[in-house]
Every structure is written in C-alpha cells, then in structure tokens.
C-alpha cells in the first residue's frame, strides 16, 4: 500500500524482499502458524487471518511487479492460499463467520483458533481482487465493490 500511494521504488524493493522471506518460511499448506518461530510447530495454532491478508496483498503486488515470472508466482501462491482456506478453513455453518482457525494474540491467550472478522473481510477482498484481475479490471477500488 505504501508503494501504491508513493510510487517510491524503495518500498517496492523492500516488499519483494519481505515477501520472499515470508513465502520461503510457509509450511506446505501455505497457511502460517501464529509465529514462524513458535516452539511447538507443528502443534501450534495456524493463522488463517495472516494467510488471507497476504493472499490479498500478493494479488495487488503482482500488478506492480515488472518481472512476469515473479508476478505469476505471487498470483499462483495467492490462489493456492485461497484454495486451501476455501477447502479446509471454512466455517460451514459452525458459526456466523466464513473462516476458522485464526489467531489474534497467542502470547496474551486471546483469540486462539478463532474466527476473526478481519479474516473474513480480507478473504472477500482477496476473492474480489482475484476476480477483478482475471476480468482485466483495475484493483485500485477494492473496498468490497463488486462491479
């Protein structure tokens, strides 16, 4: 978002570096644990909210990425994350949320393995961004517009 608003290349360069580290550290299912260095992995809570926020960001980042191979990788990873969330993290009427298994603040013992409203927001945002991208529409007007 900082790059989008400033167009300063240093922010784009930085986000590419951070994104590489993030993607390289993901588990096989692409849904991160609440902390990449949590001591009890693989028996630590996952964080669907982090995954869906990153999926949405990857879709936008791909539109600023001049390297077509890297842009495609970002979209592919976002689609894989969304597919995993859609198949294995859906509430399916267990509660009123869409996504299960988010983590708010594990060190404080708060919102561990919960449905969190912002996870649902970014899930819808990511799906809409992907839909717009596939339709060749700009992603700039994101906020839950369906045109």
As a whole number, mean pLDDT of residues 52-76 equals 97
How many whole angstroms separate alpha carbon 140 and alpha carbon 20? Answer: 24
More confident residue, 66 or 88: 66
Per-residue pLDDT, 114: 60
More confident residue, 28 or 144: 28
The band of 132, judged by pLDDT with boundaries at 50, 70 and 90, is: very high
Strands of the chain (E only): list them: 102-105, 110-114
Note whether 99 and 48 are within 8 A (CB). Answer: yes
Q: Is the pLDDT of residue 23 over 80?
A: yes
């Amino acid at each position: 978002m900082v790059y989008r608003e400033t167009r300063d290349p240093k922010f784009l360069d930085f986000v590419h570096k951070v994104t590489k580290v993030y993607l390289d550290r993901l588990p096989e299912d692409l849904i991160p644990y609440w902390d990449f260095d949590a001591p009890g992995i693989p028996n630590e809570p996952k964080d669907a909210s982090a995954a869906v926020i990153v999926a949405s960001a990857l879709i936008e980042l791909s539109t600023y990425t001049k390297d077509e191979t890297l842009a495609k990788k970002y979209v592919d990873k976002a689609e894989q994350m969304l597919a995993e969330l859609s198949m294995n993290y859906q509430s399916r009427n267990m509660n009123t949320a869409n996504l299960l298994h988010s983590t708010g603040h594990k060190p404080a013992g708060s919102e561990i393995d919960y449905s969190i409203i912002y996870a649902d927001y970014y899930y819808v945002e990511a799906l809409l961004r992907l839909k717009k991208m596939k339709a060749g529409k700009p992603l700039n007007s994101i906020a839950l517009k369906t045109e």
